[in-house]
Structure 1
């Protein structure tokens, strides 16, 4: 089945890593002589970074360090004058894309256009993300509508940093990556030759993605092995290394909201949740300028899949649909 999926996707930079009841299988394309095997490289996860942010939030809540209903503006800038709707935005609203914020700040595009094909986020640092949030005017009352927002999850990252007094990378390392043994996962590039190289549609290589102030929403890089470890920890029977993480894994699997026609789309705190013939499938996909990633697991069958490819997404690309179908319909 993995070989068939690989043929359908037909990408030399493809890696599909599968775990089924603790047994792992990895499938990748042909490796040119002298190249690092694809399953040892660190891949850009893009928006598939958000499950890490959601799990961190849940762990901090379980430890009593923050609350889901805390005001983000109150934690970021106590006493700072903001619009009443911004004051009402909570940590839960930010992670569940119900804060009423746009996908990116209104002034993001003018500064991004000159670097659109190489580094659109690099000119928008953390302090600018925070300022944009504090002066925002939400499009609707927080908690009433779902709108996918990199802006919101990035604000969550800066808010948790402010609330704990700990930089984002250190906080993630202390609460999630370290306890789970994810030594090949980080929100930054690594030593030369350790990171997968993304490619444009015409095959030309791209520089590593610089996410600027949008770190929590899309900066994670990880290896296939680490991603399977992360996903396996969500499955029934897995033993979490700390009490906060045990509570957090239970929390992020819990259905939280429904949206769309006949409320067909179900979400947890951080995962998309779709039905399948053998139980619900939890997943999140991501794409950067030159890479794509898919993370998913199905508790009822003890199955987890992490897939990556080093080419730019396009409308006809079968990557996401193929991996989603593999997990939902076949495994």
Structure 2
């Protein structure tokens, strides 16, 4: 039920990485589990889980990323800014509904505020919960479409002035997605594909289930399967689904800007490692932008964030990461730009008290030499 594939196994360190992943996998209880590491483009992938393997290899299944979708939204915004199509300081309400009367605090909310969770908006709209609670374990988001998200934003009364406090908000990042779609006249799904997915060669990454890939099936803690996620109007905040190999390609594009290698030089290496390298040099600037620390929060400002990644220190240099969960799946994405290490992990069981998935994946990122 388990297996480890080391791409280019003749490369130094691949067998050791395979043993490390196999050991880490024993700490996670899930029907399906994939732990994938890229070290300077050399990929090692461990698959396992308590369920019997299906007809499609676990590393070729498309997993729901949940909130780990947000780095894709951040890279899209950075690219649109680099193209001059929007600015970080553009006010969202002006782009969504020019001239519409909104609360003064809403009027001041910028695209940067929305992405960095400093808009003053709550995690979800206040009127989201009445329709979501009756179907909390099956389909809480599907009944709250895009137009309702936009209306909730335009009616909002933020508790805090934008830019003064950090509060994690799926609502805010969803509004960002709708704002970018309005500003460019392009649906979010098309915009993401054109600007991020296609340039990076992410052919097994999408916003909705598609016929080209087989979807992983999520499970509750008791092992009961759960339906495929419908994010409703919260697409930008959590709708991306991808195979673990595509996740590594996405992360490798960020690592490629490290001091040890260059974007163009690593494209061929990525292809040898089993996936396409980052083929569009126009993404180099946006990729660098989303890695740059932009704010601190918490006690003594100990927590650092970039536009879209959590940013922590480690013995091997800074680590950038984001985790996510849906009704029955979990995902973790992270990389160390100074050492060329990237970690992608997926599991088909919803997070619960005592769950070790995120801690295990984070440990691989921060403790692996």
TM-score relative to the length of structure 2: 0.88
For residues 270 and 77 of structure 1, the distance between their equivalents in structure 2, rounded to whole angstroms, comes to 25
**What's the secondary structure of 2:118's corresponding residue?**
coil
Aligned to 2:44: 25
For residues 79 and 111 of structure 2, the distance between their equivalents in structure 1, rounded to whole angstroms, comes to 13
For residues 142 and 215 of structure 2, the distance between their equivalents in structure 1, rounded to whole angstroms, comes to 19
- Cα drift, residue 32 of structure 1: 3.3
**Gap change, CA 1:79 and 1:279, over 3 Å in 2:** same
Pick the aligned partner of 1:6 from 25, 29, 36: 25
Aligned to 2:100: 80
Aligned to 2:192: 172
Aligned to 1:92: 112
Aligned to 1:260: 298
Cα deviations across residues 295-324 of structure 1 (Å, max 9, x unaligned)?
Answer: 000011100010000001102000001110
Aligned to 1:220: 240
Alignment of structure 1 residues 111-122 onto 2, 5 Å: 111-122=131-142
Aligned to 2:271: none
**What's the secondary structure of 1:180's corresponding residue?**
coil
Pick the aligned partner of 2:263 from 238, 247, 263: 238
For residues 244 and 144 of structure 1, the distance between their equivalents in structure 2, rounded to whole angstroms, comes to 33
Q: Does the alignment pair 1:55 with 2:75?
A: yes
Q: Does the alignment pair 1:209 with 2:229?
A: yes
For residues 10 and 2 of structure 1, the distance between their equivalents in structure 2, rounded to whole angstroms, comes to 14
- Cα drift, residue 231 of structure 1: 0.2
**What's the secondary structure of 1:228's corresponding residue?**
helix
TM-score relative to the length of structure 1: 0.98
Aligned to 2:338: 300
- Cα drift, residue 178 of structure 1: 0.5
**Gap change, CA 1:34 and 1:120, over 3 Å in 2:** closer
Cα deviations across residues 1-47 of structure 1 (Å, max 9, x unaligned)?
Answer: 10111001132310011100110000011673652110000000000
- Cα drift, residue 263 of structure 1: 1.0
Cα deviations across residues 257-287 of structure 1 (Å, max 9, x unaligned)?
Answer: 0011111110000000000011000000000
**Gap change, CA 1:287 and 1:171, over 3 Å in 2:** same
Identify unmatched segments of 5+ residues in structure 1.
none
- Judge conservation of contact 2:62–2:214 (CA < 8 Å) in 1: yes
Cα deviations across residues 66-97 of structure 1 (Å, max 9, x unaligned)?
Answer: 00000000000001000111010000000000
**Gap change, CA 1:193 and 1:24, over 3 Å in 2:** closer
Runs of 4+ in 1 over 3 A off after TM superposition: 30-34, 239-244
**Which one scores higher on RCO, CA 8 angstroms, separation ≥ 6?**
1
- Judge conservation of contact 1:60–1:244 (CA < 8 Å) in 2: no
Aligned to 1:127: 147
Identify unmatched segments of 5+ residues in structure 2.
1-19, 265-277
Cα deviations across residues 137-181 of structure 1 (Å, max 9, x unaligned)?
Answer: 111000000000000000000000000000011100110000100
Pick the aligned partner of 1:15 from 12, 34, 37: 34
Q: RMSD of aligned C-alpha atoms?
A: 1.3
- Judge conservation of contact 2:36–2:248 (CA < 8 Å) in 1: yes
